[in-house]
Structure 1
Amino acid sequence: MSKENNTPLEKLFGSKTRTKLLSLFFGNPERSYYVREMTRVIDEQINSVRRELLNLESIGIIKNETYDNKIYYSANNKHPYARALVMLFSSRTDVAVETAVVKPNAWEEYVR
């Protein structure tokens, strides 16, 4: 993907997969997801999802727990930036997801 095609949120957060994961976790901060479920929900390849999960976990923005032999990931609501991310992704979830995933230029409608 060329840099010119990146949406504002992708530019802010560094990648499309990371943006989708942040939207998933902080748009639903009380929910946990396992890896294959995430790949289906955000429609991304498992390798890119795993890579971004490692990145997000290494900075403490998400956490994991094992249940029934599956590793579930969720937002770390105790992280210093958790509240801001929840506000960004849940208060305007439709706009954030639309901007990040569906319509790359949708943000222009909200800036005007």
Structure 2
Amino acid sequence: MKFKEVLQGKAIARYVRVSPLKVRRVLNQINGRSYSDSLIILKFMPYKVCPLILKVLKSAFFNVNISQNLNISESSFYVSEARVDEAPFLKRFCPHAQGRGFPIKKRMSHIISVI
């Protein structure tokens, strides 16, 4: 009895200068969909983070093809995992009344995509 080989590609974009909340609302739309459907969704969504996610998704797809040396169609792959983790944030201070400093957190993300 032969087991079917599972082709899997993974790509990570680290320290992307976008808040994880903004990335998560886009990743929830493509999680579990086919690769070709998720490409179409990302091309037409109006968010700033979509080109970054598209880049990571394409990288994961090409990692599958390079590692296996196969030419497989895009429609046979699914986005099995698309998630975002919080990266360290940059701390900045904005001056406020009576000499106080108001902290500003400039958040960053780690975008992880598995096909």
Q: TM-score, normalised by structure 2?
A: 0.29
Return the structure number with greater relative CO, CA threshold 8 A, min gap 6: 2
Greater share of strand residues, 1 or 2?
2
Greater share of helix residues, 1 or 2?
1
Larger-Rg structure = 2
Q: TM-score, normalised by structure 1?
A: 0.29
